Structure 1
């Protein structure tokens, strides 16, 4: 019998090594996008049932916030298969109006995924015509049942307003003045009640003021009256990661 040449032996060795690597990969799960194949979802279905009313929407959002604060995040609805299904349309269950602060991203804070939240962000959650129009669109066209205004601890926009009020600062002549003007009523209320922590009290009053104002707006007020929309306020704690519902 002819003995195999060097080239044949090298080929056999390579095939043997590849087979071994394949066996190990099959046992441990081959890495794809920092996730093993065994961990990849088997379907493109959302990880939670569809929300049908404001109460269910709030419960789902609260559950996500609690998971994030405790470190038990699921990061739902973020796989490639589910992403592809969203190209056909979106059905977010909550609209979030929050601050632009980089430490308070709603999808992460509430442990939600693609297509779950309809998010609008401005410094201090200040509402202008574009923001209001965006929120009204979400409620009217996408039938979103929950609107949450999220303020947060140590908000820079609120802090700047507190300082401007206390120092009786002149307007800066920039668009930042519009933020100060919008937040001033909250600061005035905090100072009127002689709050121990004026900044934090102002953050809370700013949220409740915005919630109250949104409740008077066309489309939103009608939806609230019909029971198809709930508007609530919340405060995010930077230190603990917890969301307090106001």
Structure 2
């Protein structure tokens, strides 16, 4: 696999970036790896970086973005925060990735059995965690059934809803990202990673990215 350069990044479209991520996850799921020399990539990226993707994901130790998509050094901006929530710093990071550094796709990726989602569903309050979980509460409220405690299936629905709401916030609160997607310069997509299988399921169908 080649190291991303300004030329290869410029040649990629959002659709092609999406395809690279899907193919990388398929290899990961099958326990395969693309051949790459990481030491060479360290050297080749030492003078500059041209990642083709930005991925907002959870801090969960079971969801290492570069491994999940079988990526190398210099391929992706990885923004990690508990519950893959959106705040100004996250938005600024993604704006930099796309507007300044040229990334072609933004993926908001939640995952199954998410501790932050479970804590939000259970209404945990603890230090600064309380403020973070408040950003997941809108997703909880969409799914919540006041007649009973939320079960595991409900919590997985919250994780999916939380990804969608994070995407909505991204588009509402970042004029830069909203306009870039409107002009076709980037694509913003949602996904859920299964900690049991290693599979990433994207919300959008392939027809949405053509």
TM-score under structure 2 length normalisation: 0.87
Correspondence for 2:39 among 64, 80, 86: 80
**Superposition map of 1:213-232 within 5 A:** 213-216=169-172, 217-232=174-189
Q: How does 1:1-246 map to 2 (within 5 A)?
A: 45-46=2-3, 50-51=8-9, 52-74=12-34, 76=36, 78-164=37-123, 171-172=125-126, 174-191=127-144, 197-216=153-172, 217-246=174-203
Q: How many residues align?
A: 196
Q: Which runs of 5+ in 2 are unaligned?
A: 204-210
Q: Matches of 1:228 and 1:208 in 2, distance apart? A: 20
**Runs of 4+ displaced beyond 2 Å:** 45-51, 192-196
Question: Aligned-pair distance for 1:75?
Answer: 5.6
Of the two structures, which has the highest relative contact order with CA contacts closer than 8 Å and spacing of 6 or more? 2
Q: C-alpha separation between the residues in 2 aligned to 1:60 and 1:231?
A: 15
Note if contact 2:3-2:44 (Cα within 8 Å) is conserved in structure 1: no
**Partners in 1 of 2:161 and 2:65 — Cα distance?**
20
Equivalent-residue separation in structure 2 for 1:222 and 1:193 (angstroms): 39
Rounded Cα–Cα distance in structure 1 between residues aligned with 2:35 and 2:176? 32
Change in Cα spacing, 1:154 to 1:58, as seen in structure 2 (3 Å) is same
Aligned residues of 2:3 and 2:75 also touching (Cα < 8 A): no
Larger Rg: 1
SS in 2 for 1:187: helix
What displacement does 1:46 show? 2.8
Give the root-mean-square deviation of aligned CA atoms. 2.2
List per-residue Cα deviations over 1:215-238 (Å, max 9, x = no partner). 221210010111001000000001
